[in-house]
Amino acid sequence: MTQTHDLSATRMAAAVRTGEVSPVELADHYLARIERLNEQVGAYATVTAERAREEARQAEKAVMDAADPADLPPLHGVPIPIKDLNMVNGVRVTLGSGVYSDLTGFADDNVVTLLRQAGSVLLGKTTTPEFGLPCYTEGAVAPPARTPWDLSRSAGGSSGGAAAAVASGLAPIAQGSDGGGSIRIPSSVCGLFGIKPTRGRVSQGPVVPDLFGLSTNGPIARTVRDAALLLDVMAGHMPGDLYAAPPVEGTFASHAERPPGRLRIARSMEPAVPGAEVHPDCVAAYEAASELLEELGHEVVELPRVLGPELVPHFEMLWGVMATITPVADESEHLLQPLTRWLRARGEATTAPQLFQAHAALQGALRAAFPVMDEFDAILHPTLAQPPAPIGYFHDQEPAENFARQERFTPFTAPYNISGQPAVNVPLYWTSDAETSGLPIGVMLAGRLGGEGTLISLSAQLEEARPWIGRKPAIWTA
């Protein structure tokens, strides 16, 4: 029996316009599921039930009053949550930290403004780790975000709550952000499709600076078409943004309907992080994806080493400095998580010359790497080096070991934050674990700068060849 949350966001938006589905029914359905199931999966830090119902009533009235419902905005009446790193005016924003547990948003982030203009209904704020720094979502503000495929395991981070919500049927689609893998990591461990767009494609403003250009907003979804639709809504350069992405021909949604043609695809399973070992399940997913790409007619070749372990210390330096950007009063320092305090101490000990030298080293490496990478239409990697990690695997360690484990878990994602290239997680593979429904193991495809359209076309082809929409965790039918 089809349930409301079985609908894709694209189908849901069409059903709202035709009157087949009511925005009020949608909001009530998701709010009821959140009330029943959120404590199990840790998807939401804040639920905006009253606001969601009011926005849904307004959306329903707009459908009835419209001369032509086809003219309504693309996500009219569709419920969408916002990550708790992003500010929504008048709504609690914690940044995943006990330091900000009582802060109310005083502005809308640009991406929030665009989602509201697209007609979406705000369900609430999804959980994130403190300041979005770790690759898992555990802390003092909300219950841990868990993958619904095995509730003893983490949903990843830092968009862990967003992925847990979509994978559990607590939201049809979600906004996330990615500074070192934070969309692709949770998408992989939750069995979802996620896009980290090209640097400058989606605005970080007006409050959050984009000084290093590592982080960007992006979509997390169950289908390629849903993610492409959400990216169309989120994309846009705003005054004051330091970066601007190359233009794209047509809409991202239109690329989901186009065959990609025969592509030249490089692949690499060589991690940039020293000591990282790729788990057999991740190897199996990578090899299966390689075989499928060849079956679909693409040329698949080995990628020469372009970005190596010598870059890791430079990225670590930037990450520590980024941890210092969020202001914390001296009297509130004790409320920070141990990992955050450790990272901030490293950042505060970094001198300006050291920071500029790290930037220069990364730019020099990219100048040599881009001519090699640009020879290919896409590059295939495992998304992660290990299957979904148990709750506490990172968080229960001392900070230095915690951070080292995170690096070994995610050795493939951060290079594309450094380069600014677009990258996606594609959920093509599940383990045959007899004790669970199988654990999702994603693969990552990266593209040229501005190449989201190619990645979307290729991902849609993979989705058609190996559909994953029918795979649902047990909690889906709860």
Catalytic residue positions, numbered: 83, 158, 182
> CA-CA distance, 77 to 58, in Å (whole number)?
9
Strand partners, 265: 300, 378
Burial of 52 (0-12, 13-18, 19+ CB in 10 A): buried
Taking a C-beta distance cutoff of 8 angstroms, is the pair 10, 225 a contact? yes
> CA-CA distance, 319 to 373, in Å (whole number)?
24
Closest-CA residue to 116 (of 66, 73, 180) = 73
Segment (H or E) for 181: none
Cα dihedral 448, 451, 456, 462 sign: negative
Cα dihedral 340, 346, 352, 354 sign: negative
Strand partners, 441: 429
**Residue 341, both tokens:** 């305090």
Cα dihedral 119, 122, 127, 133 sign: positive
Give the number of other CB atoms < 10 A from CB of residue 98: 17
Segment (H or E) for 357: helix 352-373
> CA-CA distance, 471 to 188, in Å (whole number)?
14
Taking a C-beta distance cutoff of 8 angstroms, is the pair 77, 26 a contact? yes
Helix residue ranges per DSSP H, 297-441: 312-322, 338-348, 352-373, 399-409, 415-419
> CA-CA distance, 383 to 181, in Å (whole number)?
9
Can you say whether residue 124 is alpha, beta or left, with left for phi > 0 and alpha for psi between -120 and 50 degrees?
left
Backbone angles phi, psi at 403, to 5 degrees: -65, -40
Segment (H or E) for 57: helix 49-65
Taking a C-beta distance cutoff of 8 angstroms, is the pair 309, 417 a contact? no
